[in-house]
Amino acid sequence: MESLNEEFRRIYKHYHKSVVVREALNFFSWGYYKHYIRYLEKEYVEKKRKTFLKGLEKISSSAE
Q: What is the pLDDT of residue 28?
A: 58
What are the tens digits of pLDDT across the range 2-54?
566 777 677 666 665 565 666 666 655 666 677 777 787 888 888 888 888 88
Q: What is the pLDDT of residue 14?
A: 64
Q: Is the pLDDT of residue 55 over 60?
A: yes
Q: What is the pLDDT of residue 15?
A: 61
What is the spatial distance between Cα 33 and Cα 28, in angstroms, rounded to a whole number?
8
What number of CA atoms fall less than 13 Å from residue 4's CA on the CB side?
A: 16
Q: What is the pLDDT of residue 22?
A: 61
Q: What is the pLDDT of residue 42?
A: 83
